[in-house]
Amino acid sequence: MDLHPHEIRLLKAMDCEMSPETAAEKSGLNIDAVARASSWLATKELVEVTTVVAEVVKLGAEGGEYVEKGLPERQLLEIIGNGMPMADLKKKSPPELFGIGFGWLRKKAMIQVDGGDVKPLNTKETLDEKFLKTLAEKKKLYVKDLDPGFQKALQDLKGRQNVIQISEEKTITLKPTKKGLQLSKKVEVDERVGELTPEIIKNGAWKEKGFRPYQVDVYQKPSYPVRVHPLTREIRRIKQIFVNMGFREIEGPLIETAFWNFDALFQPQDHPARDMHDTFYLDGKNVKPHDYSKFKDAVAKAHEDGGDTGSTGWKYKWSEEVARKMLLRTHTTAVTARELSKAKPQDMPIKVFSIGKVFRNEAVDYKHLPEFYQVEGIVADPSVTFRNLLGILREFYDEMGFDKIRFRPGYFPYTEMSVEPEVYFEEKGEWIELGGAGIFRPEVVKPLLGVDVPVLAWGLGLDRVVSLKLGLKDLRQLYISDLDWLKQN
């Protein structure tokens, strides 16, 4: 076993358990060298390094003053003497002393207030005072060693500012193992060169001593280089997956009109999702002119009687006033709706995706957040079918690292057929639903695109996917700056 000279010096100096300071004195090393050498020896099971952390109590700035003059209540009790009128007590006492001391006298039942007179009841030394005197004598006390009486006194004094100070004290002990004791008798200090310096090169000492080999197998503390946040990392990864599949990324505004967020997607104006309990509405003042006038009539007709989509619609009178409301978008499907409205039939096939934040008026808990990321995508082409949608979803989730994928029939207001992809999590031993998908209804496509062609669409909550992949039980952990967790993920 190859040992550093500092390791050998320390090992030969240790014949029993001792502190780092004692080890430094016996080995002739400074305290920093002892710390490093003991750490190296511990990894080689030659020395045991034990660290004990204990809570220590010391006198605070005012604590020392109270030991000399007495606690405020004791000082006030001396003024009271055998008793005096309250008015006289206030005159004879400094305002600050009276304000602090009188409350503690009553709390400790040391006085009796009878009418306008204040009389002493108990003048014996209190536990607080005994504790402070003991602390002044011993300079410090260990919390774990305090008896029940002093424990109570400690709790009372903790509530008084600057009277005591509580801190943590680390005690480190070094102890050679059996293996270390045996080795210390056999090894001698290695005089070989471990580091080339200008002086050694000049005087040529390295020629006579030789070089110590590098120890590449010595344990080192884990190194945590700069990392990208796990959520950002997954967003970049998903973008790359879609780009590799031939998709183009699109973006849209966070602040939307109800028209693009709901109406263009054939969601009726009395749908529960539009309720204020589910959606963040804005006052709508000073907004830009609305940009849906070209599609307003066709969307209104689709809602009222189906228009020329072949549908019967929702059978109600559509209101532009409701459609004009401003809100924080509740899904990124509004982005794909805008994209369809810009496209022309000759642009097909259209393959786009979007990743962005959405907002829901949700009660915050371990699986719900009011703000989260959503992934959205569409394919518009006359030749695509529902089977193509399942194939795209299967390829996407396969690229995400999910081996077992299945599809369950679902329902969404703006797609038909609809499906809910599920993936199997081995850790949980269950199938987890990760999004929704389907083919846009004609009532969505025709008013925006002008023609009725199949449009495959899907979306999923990104935060949930990332949290499951990272083994998190609470979505909120993704947004908490827990540096220890972030370093390892």
CATH code for the domain of 174: 1.10.10.10
* Same domain, yes or no: 378 and 277: yes
Domain count, the chain: 3
Residue 280 lies in a domain: yes
Q: What is the C-alpha to C-alpha distance for residues 48 and 52, in angstroms, rounded to an integer?
A: 13
Residue 450 lies in a domain: yes
Domain that holds residue 387: 233-488
Q: Which pLDDT score is estimated for 1?
A: 64
Show which of 127, 161, 195 is a domain's final residue.
161
* Same domain, yes or no: 110 and 246: no
Contacts of 400 (CB under 8 A, 6+ apart): 237, 238, 241, 465
Q: What is the C-alpha to C-alpha distance for residues 211 and 194, in angstroms, rounded to an integer?
A: 6
Angle of helix 95-107 versus helix 72-80 axis, rounded to 10: 90
Contacts of 147 (CB under 8 A, 6+ apart): none
Q: Which residue do the tokens 């016996």 mark?
A: 26
Phi, psi for residue 229 in degrees, rounded to 5: -55, 140
Residue 265 lies in a domain: yes
* Same domain, yes or no: 148 and 194: no
Q: What is the C-alpha to C-alpha distance for residues 429 and 438, in angstroms, rounded to an integer?
A: 27
* Same domain, yes or no: 31 and 148: no
* Same domain, yes or no: 198 and 250: no
Residue 243 lies in a domain: yes
* Same domain, yes or no: 21 and 10: yes
CA distances from 318 to 296, 298, 303, 339 (A): 10, 11, 7, 23
Residue 308 lies in a domain: yes
Full pLDDT tens readout for the chain, 489 residues: 677 788 888 888 888 899 989 989 988 889 998 998 888 888 888 899 999 888 898 988 888 888 888 888 888 888 888 888 888 888 888 888 888 888 888 888 888 888 888 888 888 888 888 988 988 888 988 888 889 889 888 888 888 888 888 888 888 999 999 988 888 888 777 666 667 788 878 887 777 777 777 767 666 677 777 888 889 999 999 999 999 999 999 999 999 999 999 999 999 998 887 886 689 999 876 556 578 889 999 999 999 999 999 999 999 999 998 999 999 999 999 999 999 999 988 888 999 999 999 999 888 888 788 999 999 999 999 999 999 999 999 999 899 888 899 999 999 888 999 999 998 887 778 888 888 999 999 999 999 999 999 999 999 888 888 888 888 888 888 888 888 888 877
* Same domain, yes or no: 377 and 458: yes
Q: Which pLDDT score is estimated for 98?
A: 87
In terms of Cβ atoms closer than 10 Å to its own Cβ (0-12, 13-18, 19+), residue 128 is buried
8 A C-beta contact, residue 361 and residue 317: no
* Same domain, yes or no: 395 and 258: yes
* Same domain, yes or no: 280 and 135: no
CATH code of the domain in which 444 resides: 3.30.930.10
Q: What is the C-alpha to C-alpha distance for residues 80 and 370, in angstroms, rounded to an integer?
A: 61
Residue 414 lies in a domain: yes
* Same domain, yes or no: 474 and 454: yes
In terms of Cβ atoms closer than 10 Å to its own Cβ (0-12, 13-18, 19+), residue 432 is middle
pTM for the structure as a whole: 0.58
* Same domain, yes or no: 51 and 62: no
Contacts of 307 (CB under 8 A, 6+ apart): 298, 301, 313, 443, 446, 447
Q: Which pLDDT score is estimated for 355?
A: 96
* Same domain, yes or no: 81 and 202: no
Buried b / exposed e over 56-93, threshold 16 CB at 10 Å, is ebbbbeebbebbeebbbbbbbbebbeeebeeeebeeeb
Q: Which pLDDT score is estimated for 219?
A: 63
Phi, psi for residue 62 in degrees, rounded to 5: -85, -20
CATH code of the domain in which 86 resides: 1.10.10
In the 8-state DSSP scheme, what is residue 382? T
**Number of CB atoms found within 10 A of residue 268's CB:** 17
Q: Which pLDDT score is estimated for 262?
A: 94
Q: What is the C-alpha to C-alpha distance for residues 216 and 168, in angstroms, rounded to an integer?
A: 36
Q: What is the C-alpha to C-alpha distance for residues 435 and 432, in angstroms, rounded to an integer?
A: 9
Q: Which pLDDT score is estimated for 181?
A: 87
Q: Which pLDDT score is estimated for 239?
A: 95
Residue 282 lies in a domain: yes
Residue 438 lies in a domain: yes
